Amino acid sequence: MIRVKTKIFSQAIPDYFEVDLEEGSSVEILLNRVREGVARENRQAGSHKMAFLNHTHGLVVLLNGMSIYSLSGWTTRLRDGDEVSLLPMFAGG
């Protein structure tokens, strides 16, 4: 098993999840597991978060600070201790 820290920035203050996964699991598997976890939460609190997580094309997904698209996309394999951040598409500074 591996443990991956996940940060969800669907609102101003992020939510943190620690997710246990099988060795060799991908980012896509992680996202599905996170969705399952959010679905188990209070429905009202979870609805905005779920909409955020379901809008996959609008997500910025960083693995240890790197966009997954600079790695192997959704099939990028995770390792124990990795940190995944899920953010909206902010830009400009």
Partner 1 sequence: MRFAIAGKILHVDLSKEKIWTEPVPEEWIRKFIGSRGINAKILWETMKPGIDPLSPENTLIFGTGTLSGTFAPTSGRTTVTCKSPTTHLYLKTNVGGHWGTELKFAGYDYLVVQGAAKTPVYLWIDNGKVEIRDARHLWGKDVRETTSLLHEEVGDSATQVAVIGQGGENLVFFAAVMVSVYNAAARGGAGAVMGSKKLKAVAVRGQGSIKVADKKEFYRSCHVAIKNSYEDATAKFAHLYGTAGSVPMVNEARAFPAYNFRRGYIEGAEKIGGPYLAESKYLKRRLGCNACIFCCHRYCEIQEGRFAGCYTGGPEYETISALGSGCGSIDLEVVIKANELCNIYGLDTISAGNLIQWAMEGYEKKIFTEQQLGGLRLEWGNGEAIVELLRRIAHREGLGNILADGVKRAAEKIGCGSEKWAIQAKGLEQSRVETRAAFGYALAFAVNPRGPDHLHSETIAEFGTRPGGRRLIKKITGDEKYANPRLMEKRADIVRWHEDCFAATDSLGLCAFINTSRFGVDPQQMADMFSAAIGRRVSEEELMQAGRRILTLEKCFNVREGATRADDVLPWRLMNEPLESLARGQDVMKAVEGKADPAEFVPINSPAMLNRMLDEYYALHDWDLQTSWPYRDTLEKLDLKEVIPELESSGKIPRKK
Residues lying near partner 1 in the complex (CB under 8 A): 7, 9, 11-14, 57-58, 60, 62-67, 69-71, 85, 87-93
Rounded CA-CA distance 73/70 in Å is 7
| In the complex, least distance from residue 78 CB atom to partner 1, rounded to whole angstroms | 11
Please, which residue, 3 or 79, has the CB nearer to partner 1? Answer: 79
Instruction: Give Dmax (Cα) for the chain.
Output: 39
Cβ neighbourhood burial of 8 (10 Å; 0-12, 13-18, 19+): buried
Please, which residue, 64 or 75, has the CB nearer to partner 1? Answer: 64
